[in-house]
Amino acid sequence: MLRSKRSHRNKKPVHCNIGKQSLSLGRNDIVQLKEAYKWITHPLFSEELGVPIDGKSLFEVSVVFAHPETVEDCHFLRVICPDCFKPAKNKKSVFTRMAVMKALNKIKEEDFCKQFPCPPNSPKAVCSVVEIECAHGAVFVAGRYNKYSRNLPQTPWIIDGERKLDSSVEELISDHLLTVFKAESFNFSSSGREDVDVRTLGNGRPFAIELVNPHRVHFTSQEIKELQQTNFLLLFLFREAIGHMKEGEEEKTKTYSALIWTNKAIQRKDIEFLEDIKDLKIDQKTPLRVLHRRPLAVRTRIIHSMETHYVDEHHFRLYLKTQAGTYIKEFVHGDFGRTKPNICSLMDVTADILELDVESVDVDWPPALDD
């Protein structure tokens, strides 16, 4: 696909008999200059390169032209529509395509004709090519990952510019894919996240990676199988499919296993009543440990069910099925009363969580792979 950016209008005299024939043209009847340019250049490129041109291809050739003679053609728009042209940090000029289009949609036709000749004058000099750039559309890879370490964050852990741990789940997955696809960069997202000391077991946590401008996108079936023989299962998707991972995220459920300590000695009968509690509603004020990066709010969450396993007089294991987005650690120790009710208040003890595992993330995504 060829994409051209031009700093001038293609000024060719236009002659038509539409008015004489009492015909009228609407905005949608006018052929865009870029479309006409494609009609002209695509066959030329196809002939020169010996390959067919696919207008929907993810491979894109960007050509930037310059034409000093007509570079100021649209400057009058700034006088008439100053609000459309605002300086931006990453833009060398205020006359961006979006700004010009916004001004053209806003300006009255009679004002435009007063300022700009119609048809425009034919340029005397040809334009010059400033830049040619080849790029490939992003490739999206999805899967589920398992994390077996209690000393590995999901994303790089950096505080005040200082890195706390050497690696992260995001980097372990993306570094390998960046190398294989020869991509320039990536964007990582997942269905929720676990703390650095929490393991993710079972069928894993859904994730997706956008690989930006990959230089390799074609693989043999054997190479794809080798890519999938890792800690995570890989699936190639379209951009639209990524949004399904986040749809209804808070309505989904997650299952956890927690090892809990209590200050008072307990017996089996002291924890059995927890199994009778169903769909317990709790109010959680933003935990103190994440308050620096999350807005202060009170969120209602549901503990759907609990099962217990007695370990000894100061320890028991708690299995929970909860609404996604529930802060499990805070449900156990109460977070100084910011989560109500909590295990401490329910059992009338001081309790804390020693180990936490995510047993399952009940999101039907990504789609299952055929063998």
Catalytic residue among 29, 175, 195, 357: 195
Distance CA 133, CA 113 (A): 36
Torsion of CA 39, 43, 49, 52, to 10 degrees: 90
Backbone φ and ψ for 333, nearest 5 degrees, come out as -90, -10
For residue 299, count other CB atoms closer than 10 A to its CB: 16
Distance CA 64, CA 48 (A): 19
Backbone φ and ψ for 213, nearest 5 degrees, come out as 50, 60
Query: Is the Cβ–Cβ distance between 93 and 136 less than 8 Å?
Result: no
Structure tokens at 198: 């929490």
Query: Is the Cβ–Cβ distance between 304 and 322 less than 8 Å?
Result: yes
Q: How many residues does the chain have?
A: 371
Structure tokens at 112: 């435009």
- Biggest CA pair distance of the chain: 98
Distance CA 121, CA 119 (A): 7
Q: Is 335 a catalytic residue?
A: no
Catalytically annotated residues: 195
